[in-house]
Amino acid sequence: MAIEIEKPSSVRLSKVAISKTHGEDSPYFAGWKAYDENPYDEIHNQSGVIQMGLAENQVSFDLLEKYLEEHHEVSSSGKGAPGFRENALFQDYHGLKSFRQAMANFMEQIRGGKAKFDPDRIVLTAGATAANELLTFILADPGDALLVPTPYYPGFDRDLRWRTGVKIVPIHCNSSNNFQITPEALEAAYQSAESMDLKVRGILITNPSNPLGSTIQSSVLNDILDFAVHKNIHLVSDEIYSGSTFSPSEFVSIAEILRNRNYKDAERVHIVYSLSKDLGLPGFRVGTIYSYNDDVVTTARRMSSFTLISSQTQHLLACMLSNHEFTQNYIKTNRERLNKRYDMIIQGLKKAGIECLKGNAGLFCWMNLSPLLNEPTRQGELELWNIILNQVKLNISPGSSCHCSEPGWFRVCFANMSEQTLRVALQRIHKFMEQRKVCSVNQ
Amino acid sequence: MVAISKIATGNGHGEDSPYFDGWKAYETNPFHPIDRPDGVIQMGLAENQLCFNFIKKWVMEHPEASLCSAEGVNKFEETALFQDYHGMPEFREAVAKFMGKVRGDRVKFDPDRIVMSGGATGAHEMVAFCLADPGEAFLVPTPYYPGFDRDLRWRTGVELVPVVCESSNNFKITRAALEAAYEKAKEANLRVKGLLITNPSNPLGTILDRDTLKGIVKFINEKNIHLIGDEIYAATVFMEPEFVSISEIIEEVECNRGLIHIVYSLSKDMGFPGFRVGIVYSYNDAVVSCARKMSSFGLVSSQTQHLIATMLSDDDFVDSFIVESKEQLFKRHKYFTLSLSQVGIGSLKSNAGLFIWMDLRKLLKEKTFDAEMDLWRVIINEVKLNVSPGSSFHCDEPGWFRVCFANMDDNTMEVALLRITTFMHKHNEAMVPRKLCRRASLKLSLSRRRDDFMSQNMMSPHSPIPQSPLVRART
């Protein structure tokens, strides 16, 4: 058979397809791989890797299951399946009105009624992953930039940049002030973008923060909004962990800041939300965009055609989230349980001699292992990370994968496992720290 | 005022097309047999509603398929947590099996090549992102589904170049037409990366014959470009000739499989557009890998994956569903086309899809697209039917309309036919000086009581026999 001379770039896939911007080469994902190959199991694999790199909320499933057991009308297969046909046919990109209403109510409840949400400004997407990408397509052109405070969720590298062609310019935050975003850091990031000839189109903050596990203070939110107004750029607030604050009074949403300002400058603000973290339903792909800008709402709605939420899921959640008694109880109980978990891990780490950033939200803590580094560099951090993954057998996420500018910090998830498993993890950490103490004493 | 992107401010969303204007007319005044008997009947939406009773029965008999029932709730937690972009293995296996059965088990599909997407809408965009850079192009035979303009171009920056097909040979995709399109792209300095075919065709309702398919596969191999086969209507082939899939052709002819990709969905074959079950099936490993990563932006809800996995792994159900669906589509298609022919309306001979390609060329005042739009406005505003004008499908010849027939019950179908008949009757009267109305009782292929479909409100004013559903007009 004749050797075919490959024609230049004719069977080549697209540049987007070939690029590495999907981000899966990051250690963030390498750790998952190690876990997949040797997953811990309480009974069958007690020496396996414990997954502490996945920000899932598994502490409140019993509440959801109880609801389902008590409300069979939610199933579209019950009682003659009257809704099945209508549900199966419903593909309107406006989304089920009852579901949007329920989401608006839920978001209000989470904010203790301190902000109001209009269901007609809610656009539905298949997960926050899609919501963040979609907003980026709408707010920026290829080659433009978004400013994102570090450390940030590694998935943003893919979600904001991969298919959009938009760039991320980091707003550097550090431990000297608990990684808070300062006006100086904002300005420095903006200047940095300008010096690279990049047009800044917006800022994306995550509040409560992933990976820090802390809420952004009211004064800082005001500074950020002022900055956005001053530069005439957009502000996206990813509030995916808003229902996971341990105490309701500690979370201030950008929606409240706007309300306090009588919604002046609102047309540049957009909120991303999802049920993946607060309700622990990542598989159901429920994301939302809430925008105060009519053009953005209209365009986002049209674009959501590429990523609608299954009508079956919209129906289930509309029923569930319209039940006020259920949601009140859920939000309260979920907060309490997360708080309890957080206390448990912080105490456990403290006993082992490890400090964490003071957190008040989220499904993880931001652990400081900088004292353990051989050298205060990214390389030093990755070496330590490797030891923790392969010897201590814990998959935790290195700060460098979150673009943290200071080496030695790690994100450790605590809500995606049973209390028993968390105890095992803490025992392993304790043992590891003990061994290191012995080693350093002997040196 | 803070600016938004060029993509956002442009009209790449495609909603300015007349395809959507008709929907708007429908939405402001939708037909309802009791509440709005004079409303617009939606015949512009290609939905399959003929088998819901059949499916509902299965759903009621299988509560374990729902996570909300007592039988299914034990799977709730693990399903709710499942966000792996590989998709549930049982879901992929069930879909692969279904795709095989729809092709008469003449070919097998590998579950590991199945990638999820947000409906076929999401699938098409995803494939475009994988195969082409902004500014590059796909060839698409006309007439084609208007949504492609948005799905393939809007956020991707990819261009579409039409492969013009003509009524003179029943819109066949000829080698000459393919070559002409390829040349045209070259002249416009557009690098062609692929050819997108929809088989069975939307809007034509026809399938591609074996020779045409082989010719297409040859063409793309020669030009070294990708072939995307949208087979979303595969199970709607309701009569001979039998459907031939791209997946079968590549077993029969020399082909670089790295160029072959299939887009599929359950929106048409099963009538589940709301569930957003889109599939990309590629024979190219790199594309599977890339598409899988991209599917993060449009995964199928795990709740739905669970339902579909349970439903489509029930072999007895699937086998009977495929047969039942074909039968219902066949009956509806036959009745509809026969009734239309009796008032002098012809359509392209078709054996698939949820619509017909109606020929109203002789009703045009002149052979122009303006005249087509005028006629269309009359159909919407006077006859009160939303049909889709051929120009919105980029048809190169005015006078063709896509008319959906599977998205309504029998009663509504009768109302629609009565309106068409009345309109044609008026039109024919206007055309000739003498009118000759013959009453005829039409032998229906459905055994039905007359009273089932005749409501007092819908009597034709010209009908000499009040209960006769159709009046045959002779000119």
Residue ranges with strand state E in B123-189: 137-141, 159-163
Query: What confidence tier does A11 reach under pLDDT thresholds 50, 70, 90?
Result: low
Residue A30: what pLDDT?
80
Within 8 A of A284 by CB-CB distance, chain B residues are: 80, 301-303
CB A93 within 8 A of CB A308: yes
CB A407 within 8 A of CB A423: no
- Whether residue B403 is predicted with pLDDT greater than 70 in this model: the reply is yes
For residue A95, the SS3 value is coil
Identify the burial level of B86 via C-beta atoms within 10 angstroms of its C-beta, where 0-12 means exposed, 13-18 middle and 19 or more buried.
Answer: middle
Q: Is B8 close to A138, i.e. CB distance below 8 A?
A: yes
């005829």: which residue's tokens? Answer: B440
Taking phi over 0 as left and psi of -120 to 50 as alpha, with beta for the rest, A58 belongs to alpha
* Alpha helix (H) residue ranges in B205-314: 210-223, 246-252, 285-294, 302-312
Residue B93: what pLDDT?
98
């598994």: which residue's tokens? Answer: A58
CB-closest option in A91, A142, A284 to B273: A91
Domains in chain A: ranges and CATH: 27-62+327-436 (3.90.1150.10), 77-323 (3.40.640.10)
Give the separation between CA A105 and CA A288, rounded to whole angstroms.
13
Q: Is A312 close to B118, i.e. CB distance below 8 A?
A: no
Give the separation between CA A348 and CA A342, rounded to whole angstroms.
10
Domains in chain B: ranges and CATH: 6-52+319-426 (3.90.1150.10), 65-314 (3.40.640.10)
- Whether residue A20 is predicted with pLDDT greater than 90 in this model: the reply is no
- Whether residue B294 is predicted with pLDDT greater than 80 in this model: the reply is yes
pLDDT tens for each residue of A369-421: 999 999 999 999 999 999 999 999 999 999 999 999 999 999 999 999 999 99
Closest residue by Cα to residue B213 from B239, B178, B187, B184 = B178
Report strand pairing: A145-149 vs A167-171: parallel
Within 8 A of B136 by CB-CB distance, chain A residues are: 14
Q: Which two tokens stand for residue B12?
A: 């790449």
Identify the burial level of B70 via C-beta atoms within 10 angstroms of its C-beta, where 0-12 means exposed, 13-18 middle and 19 or more buried.
Answer: middle
- Just list the catalytic residues of A: 153, 238, 240, 277
Q: Is A91 close to B81, i.e. CB distance below 8 A?
A: no
Of residues A20 and B62, more confidence is placed in B62
ipTM of this complex prediction, to 2 decimal places: 0.93
- Whether residue B355 is predicted with pLDDT greater than 60 in this model: the reply is yes
Give the separation between CA B385 and CA B26, rounded to whole angstroms.
8
Residue B438 backbone dihedrals phi, psi, to 5 degrees: -110, 130
- Neighbouring CB atoms inside 10 A of B3's CB total 17
Q: Which two tokens stand for residue B217?
A: 């596969």
- Whether residue B436 is predicted with pLDDT greater than 70 in this model: the reply is no
- Whether residue B448 is predicted with pLDDT greater than 90 in this model: the reply is no
- Whether residue B164 is predicted with pLDDT greater than 50 in this model: the reply is yes
Residue B465: what pLDDT?
31
CB B45 within 8 A of CB B404: yes
Give the separation between CA A232 and CA A356, rounded to whole angstroms.
36
Q: Is B249 a catalytic residue?
A: no
- Neighbouring CB atoms inside 10 A of A191's CB total 12
Chain A, nearest residue to B260 by Cα: A11
Looking at residue A133, its amino acid is E
Query: What confidence tier does A443 reach under pLDDT thresholds 50, 70, 90?
Result: low
- Whether residue B146 is predicted with pLDDT greater than 70 in this model: the reply is yes
- Whether residue A97 is predicted with pLDDT greater than 60 in this model: the reply is yes
Query: What confidence tier does A81 reach under pLDDT thresholds 50, 70, 90?
Result: very low
For residue B129, the SS3 value is helix
Q: Which two tokens stand for residue A118?
A: 């209009």
Active-site choice (B75, B97, B193, B268): B268
Closest residue by Cα to residue A93 from B50, B20, B353, B84 = B20
Identify the burial level of A142 via C-beta atoms within 10 angstroms of its C-beta, where 0-12 means exposed, 13-18 middle and 19 or more buried.
Answer: middle
pLDDT tens for each residue of B357-375: 999 999 999 999 999 999 9
Give the separation between CA B43 and CA B104, rounded to whole angstroms.
30
Q: Which two tokens stand for residue A378?
A: 């990214």
Q: Which two tokens stand for residue B299?
A: 């995964």
Q: Which two tokens stand for residue B332?
A: 């509806």
Chain A, nearest residue to B289 by Cα: A17
- Whether residue B23 is predicted with pLDDT greater than 90 in this model: the reply is no
Tell me the mean pLDDT in the region B82-102. Answer: 97
Q: Which two tokens stand for residue B167?
A: 């009524």
Q: Is A65 close to B77, i.e. CB distance below 8 A?
A: yes
B389 preceded by a cis bond (ω within 30 of 0): no
- Whether residue B457 is predicted with pLDDT greater than 60 in this model: the reply is no
Distances in Å between the Cα of A305 and the Cα atoms of A152, B125, B403 are 28, 11, 23
Residue A9: what pLDDT?
37
CB B137 within 8 A of CB B158: yes
B interface mutation test: which of A10, A16, A24, A77 has the most B CBs within 10 A? Answer: A77
Residue B172: what pLDDT?
97
Q: Is A311 close to B274, i.e. CB distance below 8 A?
A: yes
Mean pLDDT of chain A: 93
Q: Is B293 a catalytic residue?
A: no
Give me the helix-helix angle, A324-351 and A419-442, nearest 10°. 20
pLDDT tens for each residue of A314-344: 999 999 999 999 999 999 999 999 999 999 9
Q: Is B274 close to A72, i.e. CB distance below 8 A?
A: no
Give the separation between CA B12 and CA B10, rounded to whole angstroms.
6
Distances in Å between the Cα of A114 and the Cα atoms of A111, B440, B465 are 6, 70, 67
Within 8 A of B292 by CB-CB distance, chain A residues are: none
| Tally of CA atoms within 13 A in the half-sphere of A383 that contains its CB | 10
CA dihedral B60, B62, B64, B69 (to 10 degrees): 10
Percent of chain B with pLDDT over 70: 91
Give the separation between CA B6 and CA A419, rounded to whole angstroms.
50
Mean pLDDT of chain B: 90
Give the separation between CA A201 and CA B118, rounded to whole angstroms.
28
Residue B409: what pLDDT?
93
Q: Which two tokens stand for residue B363?
A: 């009703």
Edge-first strand order for the sheet with B400-404 is: B346-347, B355-359, B400-404, B388-389
Q: Which two tokens stand for residue A64?
A: 């959801």
Q: Is B13 close to A299, i.e. CB distance below 8 A?
A: yes
Looking at residue B264, its amino acid is Y
* Alpha helix (H) residue ranges in B242-368: 246-252, 285-294, 302-312, 315-341
Chain B, nearest residue to A83 by Cα: B56
pLDDT tens for each residue of B325-354: 999 999 999 999 999 999 999 999 999 999
A interface mutation test: which of B303, B305, B311, B407 has the most A CBs within 10 A? Answer: B303
Give the separation between CA A173 and CA A406, rounded to whole angstroms.
9
Q: Which two tokens stand for residue B258?
A: 């790295």
Query: What confidence tier does B459 reach under pLDDT thresholds 50, 70, 90?
Result: very low
B interface mutation test: which of A12, A56, A279, A310 has the most B CBs within 10 A? Answer: A310
Give the separation between CA A72 and CA A79, rounded to whole angstroms.
9
User: Could you tell me which residues are beta bridge partners of residue B30?
Assistant: B40
DSSP string computed for B11-75: STT-TTSHHHHHHHHHHHSB-BTTTBTTSBEE-S-----TTHHHHHHHHHH-GGGSTTSTTTGGG
Question: Which of A35-39, B161-165, B438-442 is least confident?
Answer: B438-442
H/E segment holding residue B230: strand B226-230
CB-closest option in B69, B136, B293 to A75: B69
Largest separation between any pair of C-alpha atoms in chain A: 75
Give the separation between CA B6 and CA A37, rounded to whole angstroms.
45
Residue A83: what pLDDT?
85
Within 8 A of B79 by CB-CB distance, chain A residues are: 283
Residue B158: what pLDDT?
97
Chain A, nearest residue to B308 by Cα: A312
Within 8 A of B125 by CB-CB distance, chain A residues are: 306
Give the separation between CA B307 and CA B90, rounded to whole angstroms.
10
- What is the DSSP-derived secondary structure letter of residue A268? G
Q: From the CA of A437, how many Å to the nearest CA of chain B?
A: 39
Residue B458: what pLDDT?
32
Query: What confidence tier does A442 reach under pLDDT thresholds 50, 70, 90?
Result: low
For residue A329, the SS3 value is helix
Give the separation between CA A84 and CA A126, rounded to whole angstroms.
21
- Whether residue B302 is predicted with pLDDT greater than 70 in this model: the reply is yes
Q: Which two tokens stand for residue A244?
A: 């996971």
CB-closest option in B6, B132, B299 to A126: B299
pLDDT tens for each residue of A253-307: 999 999 999 999 999 999 999 999 999 999 999 999 999 999 999 999 999 999 9
Q: In 3-state terms, chain A is what percent helix, strand and coil (to 5)?
A: 50, 15, 35
Within 8 A of B258 by CB-CB distance, chain A residues are: 11
């580094």: which residue's tokens? Answer: A373
